[in-house]
């Protein structure tokens, strides 16, 4: 496993390495057992194992007649979902009217669909179906005890339905990590038009849904003045009862950017100290002794967005017990120059068999990201048409 051994190795790390460092640094939250209905989106803390065979019994897959032996058949009863046929063994030449989902009577060879059945004078005829036709046999989908999903799998809609099918009422999962956000910047206005020296806070509205998309639960979002720097220090202390603190702005080296100094004063363990990517270069991840993880996102809004996908997403995945996973890839049709030794992150849209860069991707401008299907991580030396990893912006 890749870890940040010391501050030198975590400075200006390659983009993919930064994601691995953030994921590997996360200590997953302890497992909790929750009702199925409360597990949506949470990652399994143990393998999901089939408690029973599926299907649990021989099941009719069509509305029609369960038939034994060769036709013609005499109808001797019916089988409905939840109300099985009451006989013990279906004899050759007998049939039972059956509904999709009902238990197939013992002795039945196949289910003859209504559309193929020819009713006669007290008997039924129809084609000679192969044995087992339209019957889903017990255990055909899975045997009892089989592993259906490994620990770490997020409980999406299908997994919840699968768990219910197997008889689960509860699941052992990892809780959603909590995040507190601190937005810095004396120039920020929170309503109305921007004006000379005043810009609208783009990150206050952007962060809550982004944190949710990346798998966190936002506790609080506060605005803090750039000066004195001690105000940010106090905000960090006040946010201590959380898993992750996200600070926006303050990642750079100017007089109003105090985050790095505050973290050093707090004896923080550095996990990522700047990433070789554009935008988002000054982003950081550190953990003050005994405190929450602290992620610094650049103030420039598009840079903050790309940095959140770089560090916050993998950190939250690790805290939730989810694997980092391999990013999907697609050919990037457009020529996108990346500075030497640096990954360039650009918004893209699907364009038939590949993705196309959208533009509108300067560090402070969110236009491309607002319209894009994904962010493409373009490695140095990329040539048009080569595949690139994608961070999906929409489900
Ligand atoms: N001497 C250097 N200066 C800068 C460097 C550097 O390496 N050396 N890096 C540049 C890069 S790259 C970035 S990105 C920024 C990061 O700056 P900070 O994270 O310290 O953020 P600020 O300086 O506070 O703000 C940068 C920019 O973003 C605007 N901003 C801040 N917060 C918000 C918000 N919530 N909504 C909208 N816009 C926001 C702010 O007004 C600035 O224009 O540093 C470069 N400088
Ligand atoms: O993070 Mo900065 O956006 O590279 O300008």
Res 1: pLDDT: 39
Residue pLDDT, tens place only, 94-109: 999 999 999 999 999 9
Q: Identify the burial level of 1 via C-beta atoms within 10 angstroms of its C-beta, where 0-12 means exposed, 13-18 middle and 19 or more buried.
A: exposed
> Which residues, listed in sequence order, are joined to residue 34 by a DSSP beta bridge?
171
Establish whether residue 188 lines the binding site of ligand 1, counting it when its CB lies within 6 angstroms of any ligand atom.
yes
Res 385: pLDDT: 96
Ligand nearest to the CA of 276: 2
| Rounded CA separation 187/190 (Å) | 10
> What is the position in ligand 1's atom list of the atom closest to the CA of 364?
28
CB atoms within 10 A of CB 346: 27
Quick one: pLDDT band at residue 240, thresholds 50, 70, 90? very high
For the chain, domains (ranges, CATH) are 11-29+176-320 (3.40.980.10), 32-50+142-174 (3.90.105.10), 59-136 (2.170.190.11), 329-392 (no CATH)
Res 252: pLDDT: 87
Could you report the predicted ipTM of this complex, rounded to two decimals? 0.98
Residue pLDDT, tens place only, 246-287: 999 998 887 777 899 999 999 999 999 999 999 999 999 999
Q: Identify the burial level of 245 via C-beta atoms within 10 angstroms of its C-beta, where 0-12 means exposed, 13-18 middle and 19 or more buried.
A: buried
- Tell me the pLDDT of the chain averaged across its residues: 94
Ligand 2 neighbours, Cβ below 6 Å, are 278-282, 298, 300, 303, 363
Quick one: pLDDT band at residue 6, thresholds 50, 70, 90? low
| Rounded CA separation 131/129 (Å) | 6
Instruction: Give the predicted TM-score (pTM) of the model.
Output: 0.90
How many degrees, rounded to 5, is the angle at CA 283 between CA 152 and CA 340? 100
**Mutation to probe ligand 2, out of 300, 344, 345 (largest number of atoms < 8 A from CB):** 300
> What is the position in ligand 2's atom list of the atom closest to the CA of 281?
1
Taking the alpha carbons at both ends of the chain, their separation in whole angstroms is 29
* DSSP per position, 299-355: SSHHHHHHHIIIIIHHHHHHHHT----PPPEEEB-S-----TT-EEEEEEEEETTEE
Average pLDDT over residues 189-206: 95
Res 10: pLDDT: 83
Residue pLDDT, tens place only, 14-67: 999 999 999 999 999 899 999 999 999 999 999 999 999 999 999 999 999 999
Residue pLDDT, tens place only, 127-144: 999 999 999 999 999 999
Higher pLDDT, 153 or 122: 153
Residue pLDDT, tens place only, 276-303: 999 999 999 999 988 999 999 999 999 9
Quick one: pLDDT band at residue 121, thresholds 50, 70, 90? confident
Quick one: pLDDT band at residue 3, thresholds 50, 70, 90? very low
Residue pLDDT, tens place only, 338-376: 889 999 999 999 998 999 999 999 999 999 999 999 999
| Rounded CA separation 347/339 (Å) | 17
Residue nearest to atom 46 of ligand 1 (CA): 252
């Amino acid at each position: 496993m890749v870890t940040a051994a010391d501050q030198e190795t975590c400075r200006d790390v390659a983009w993919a390495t930064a994601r691995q460092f953030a994921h590997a640094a996360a200590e997953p939250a302890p497992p909790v057992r929750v009702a199925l209905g409360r597990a949506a989106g949470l990652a399994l803390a143990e393998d999901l194992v089939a408690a029973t065979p599926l299907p649990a019994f021989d099941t009719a897959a069509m509305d029609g007649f369960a038939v034994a032996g060769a036709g013609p058949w005499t109808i001797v009863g019916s089988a409905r979902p939840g109300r099985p046929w009451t006989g013990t063994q279906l004899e050759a030449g007998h049939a039972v009217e059956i509904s999709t989902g009902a238990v197939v009577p013992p002795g039945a060879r196949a289910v003859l669909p209504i559309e193929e059945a020819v009713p006669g004078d007290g008997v039924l005829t129809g084609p000679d179906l192969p044995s087992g036709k339209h019957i889903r046999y017990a255990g055909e989908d899975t045997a009892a005890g089989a592993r259906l999903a490994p620990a770490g799998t997020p409980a999406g809609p299908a997994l919840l339905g699968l768990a219910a099918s197997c008889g689960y009422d509860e699941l052992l999962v990892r809780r959603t990590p909590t995040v507190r956000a601190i937005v810095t910047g004396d120039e920020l206005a929170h309503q109305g038009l921007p004006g000379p020296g005043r810009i609208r806070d783009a990150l206050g509205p952007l962060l809550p849904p982004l944190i949710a998309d990346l798998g966190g639960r936002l506790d609080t979002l506060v605005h803090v003045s750039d000066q004195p720097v001690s105000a940010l220090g106090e905000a960090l202390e006040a946010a201590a009862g959380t898993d992750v603190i996200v600070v926006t702005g303050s990642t750079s080296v100017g007089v109003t950017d105090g985050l790095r100094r505050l973290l050093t004063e707090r004896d923080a363990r550095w996990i990522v100290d700047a990433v070789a990517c554009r935008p988002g270069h000054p982003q950081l991840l550190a953990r003050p002794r005994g405190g929450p993880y602290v992620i610094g996102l650049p103030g420039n809004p598009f840079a903050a967005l790309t940095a959140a996908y770089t560090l916050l997403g993998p950190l939250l995945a690790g805290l939730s017990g989810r694997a980092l996973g391999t990013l999907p890839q697609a050919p990037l049709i457009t020529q996108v120059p990346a500075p030497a030794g640096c990954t360039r992150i650009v918004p893209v849209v699907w364009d038939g068999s590949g993705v196309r860069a959208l533009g509108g991707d300067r560090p402070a401008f969110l236009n491309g990201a607002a319209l894009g299907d994904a962010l493409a991580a373009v490695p140095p030396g990329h040539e048009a048409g080569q595949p690139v990893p994608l961070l999906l912006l929409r489900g």
